[in-house]
Chain A
Amino acid sequence: ETGVTQTPRHLVMGMTNKKSLKCEQHLGHNAMYWYKQSAKKPLELMFVYSLEERVENNSVPSRFSPECPNSSHLFLHLHTLQPEDSALYLCASSQDSGSGAKNIQYFGAGTRLSVL
């Protein structure tokens, strides 16, 4: 148990569906992240939120829409996805988003997404 919980663990959706991924952290952290993990590729950073403000958007298509209503919760809203978006989506949190500290990121177990 890492203190970061993601739901659902598995999701199958059609290309015309709208769904949301949820992440909740119980660590009192101020920064939260979305990553995409595809087979045989490195973890790809998608979005970074610090104190509920988006501080990084790594050229992610607009069919992925993040939302951070408070420092403990992070959502990823999905609409009109493509089959190539099938992947493991990981959420992480850390004390803050700065680069000058040890600032360990703690990950959730991910949502395995399949787009048909």
Chain B
Amino acid sequence: GQNIDQPTEMTATEGAIVQINCTYQTSGFNGLFWYQQHAGEAPTFLSYNVLDGLEEKGRFSSFLSRSKGYSYLLLKELQMKDSASYLCAVRGNSGNTPLVFGKGTRLSVIA
């Protein structure tokens, strides 16, 4: 079976750092994606990891450990506009099966 787990909700303070975790069990592995989705809007691509380690992109970083089936998204210097749902998705290795998504983590940034 395929399973992606991430916390349902998180709250953090403006200017702080927050880490959103994602664990997965999938049939093979061909990359892990993080998406941001504001209410009523399209999910937008944030990051992609296929090798172990940290990928940094501005205020956002994403980490992957394939042996542990684990990833996290790190958001620094939080801003109110970062309040959104963050979706973890994994691509397996079975032909045309694109992505398996987690339920998403709803992040609320408070003043």
The answer to whether A99 and B95 touch across the interface, beta carbons within 8 angstroms, is yes
Q: Tell me, in angstroms, the Cα distance from A115 to B101 when the chains sit together.
A: 25
Contacts of B48 in A (CB 8 A): 102, 104
Known A-B contacts A42-B103, A43-B101; the reply to A99 vs B43 at CB < 8 A is no
- Tell me the number of A-to-B contacts counted with CB atoms below 8 Å: 68
The answer to whether A42 and B4 touch across the interface, beta carbons within 8 angstroms, is yes
Contacts of B101 in A (CB 8 A): 42-43
The answer to whether A99 and B96 touch across the interface, beta carbons within 8 angstroms, is yes
The answer to whether B91 and A99 touch across the interface, beta carbons within 8 angstroms, is yes
Q: Tell me, in angstroms, the Cα distance from A40 to B98 when the chains sit together.
A: 21
Q: Tell me, in angstroms, the Cα distance from A107 to B41 when the chains sit together.
A: 9
The answer to whether A99 and B87 touch across the interface, beta carbons within 8 angstroms, is no
A97: contacting residue among B40, B92, B93, B96, CB under 8 A: B96
* Nearest-Cβ distance from residue B1 to partner chain A, whole angstroms: 13
Query: Which of A11-19, A48-56, A63-71 sits within the interface?
Result: A48-56
Please classify how large the interface on chain A is, using the bins under 10, 10 to 19, 20 to 34, 35 or more.
Answer: 20 to 34
Q: Tell me, in angstroms, the Cα distance from A104 to B37 when the chains sit together.
A: 15
Known A-B contacts A42-B4, A43-B87; the reply to A105 vs B40 at CB < 8 A is no
Asked if B44 lies at the interface with its beta carbon under 8 angstroms from chain A, I say yes
Write the A80-109 contact mask toward B (1 if CB under 8 angstroms, else 0). Answer: 000000000010001001111011111111
Taking Cβ atoms with an 8 Å cutoff, the residues of B that contact A are 4, 8, 30-31, 33, 35, 40-45, 48, 50, 87, 89, 91-104
Taking Cβ atoms with an 8 Å cutoff, the residues of A that contact B are 2, 4, 31, 33, 40-43, 45, 48, 50, 55-56, 90, 94, 97-100, 102-110
